[in-house]
Amino acid sequence: EEYVERTYEKIGKYDKYTNAFITIRSKEEVLREVKENINKGGKLAGILIAIKDNISTKGIRTTCASKMLEDYIPPYDATVIEKLKKEGAVIVGKTNMDEFAMGSTTETSYFGPTRNPWNLERTPGGSSGGSGAALAAGYVELALGSDTGGSIRAPAAYNATFGLKPSYGTVSRFGLVAYANSLEQIGPMARNAEDLALLFSIIAGPDDKDATTIDLSLNFEFKEKNVKNVRIGILSDILEMSEKPVSGMIKDVIDKLSSEGALIEDTKLGNAEYALPAYYIIAMSEASSNLARYDGVRYGYSKYMEGNWREVYAKNRGEAFGIEVKRRILLGSFILSAGYYEEFYLKALKVRNLIKKSLDELFKKYDILVSPTMPILPPKIGEVINDPVRMYAMDLNTVIANLAAIPALSLPAGFYNDLPIGLQLMGKYLSDIYLINISSYIE
């Protein structure tokens, strides 16, 4: 009772400033479930968790931070939610995000931006910014996000928390509202490495409802290791592209790791400058196709039913999608149209392959690759949102892992004044647990 009371008091007092939640469940309902679940047991018996609002929750509104789904209540749970419930977790609310997970600052939300608890003038990163802020503000200890090109790691970095973009196929996407299927994964967000490991072990695993999941033989044992003799490659090309306070902080961490016996070497990804355009071409193409389902008829915003199909479609979509979503639908449709497909989409797939290959080579020499998570400090609210190209450029370091399907983790590296800076670790495919172990030591 005290735990639930305390949580609601904090949220009641401070979320009017942070705006981390789109939907907060009623305290009575949550308290009842917590009491029930404590008696039933499970790894998360009675523990409150915040869920990004693009993950389907039975009976709880799931908006994707869009006017299009403002009143949508899913009739089913995502697989990850079923797994959490089996372990006794209780959803406290659904967190704010960029509309349909398109953005890096949680400012494209129909429900207004989330503010960074460390500095309310700054963004908490995105698109899972509500989950990141909910952790940093101390509303919850555990949260779920989704990561298509950095959406778990950006908020982890900017909120001084931990976030893992799992290896592709380790976590079911059933019930995740699709943005770009070939890139995205649901992943754990937490305030320390141990909680991250626990949450990941619960949500991971094969699922008949998602044919891209794999039967993994991951050993979830969480044991703290040291970095002695760990072969660390520093992505120096990426490091040098970062803002000074960021690269300076990351270099300090690297020096510390070196003094603790890690084998540090400067290296380069090669083709790094092509990762970002390739990512955006692929992501927008998949988005334009995925978002075609919001037709103003079957579900979602459906204000206009008069006229022919074209008019109904255009009017409802025109009114219910925000500007960033429209931009991506237009660009994605253009890229996929006859004649341009070879020029853009096919080329992007080739770049994706090249990046995978250079990473394969690097992982023969290194156990982990290190870089800043974000190339810049958390931007001020309003600073990048009207300049899409600048916003896209924030994802320079994070999209690499999504293109290559490998795991990537962000952990706190330190602060520049009151602004958090994140360190990114990338590992080879299925080295997720290893990354978490290493992160616990660096922490």
Does 395 participate in binding ligand GLN (rule CB under 6 A)? yes
Query: Looking at 146-154, 188-196, 213-221, 432-440, which segment touches ligand GLN (CB under 6 A)?
Result: 146-154
Say whether residue 93 binds ligand GLN (CB under 6 A): no
Determine whether 104 is an active site residue.
Answer: no
Q: According to CB under 6 A, which residues from 155 to 214 bind ligand GLN?
A: 179
Cβ at position 34, least distance to ligand GLN in Å = 30
Which residues ranging from 95 to 124 are in contact with ligand GLN (CB under 6 A)? 101-104
Question: DSSP letters of 112-173?
Answer: ----BTTBTTB---SSSHHHHHHHHTTS-SEEEEEESSSTTHHHHHHTT-EEEEPPTTSB--
Strands 419-427 and 408-416: antiparallel
Q: Angle of helix 272-290 relative to helix 347-365, nearest 10 degrees?
A: 130
Name the closest residue to ligand GLN (Cβ). Answer: 151
Instruction: Determine the residue type at 187.
Output: G
Contact 164, 407 (CB under 8 A): yes
Dist. CA 229–CA 214, nearest whole Å: 31
Catalytic residue among 56, 66, 104, 127: 127
Look at residues 258, 204, 202, 264 and name the one whose alpha carbon lies nearest to residue 232. 264
325 vs 394: CA distance, rounded Å? 18
- For the bound state, the minimum distance from the C-beta of residue 327 to ligand GLN, rounded and expressed in Å, comes to 11
Residue type for position 391: M
Query: Pick the catalytic residue: 56, 146, 151, 201?
Result: 151
Question: Quick one: which of 7, 151, 213, 316 contacts ligand GLN (CB under 6 A)?
Answer: 151
| Contact yes or no for 98/391 (Cβ under 8 A) | no
Report the residue from 20, 193, 283, 436 that binds ligand GLN according to the rule CB under 6 A. 283
131 binds ligand GLN, rule: CB under 6 A: no
What residue ranges bind ligand GLN (CB under 6 A)? 101-104, 127, 147-151, 179, 283, 395
Catalytic machinery residues: 52, 127, 151
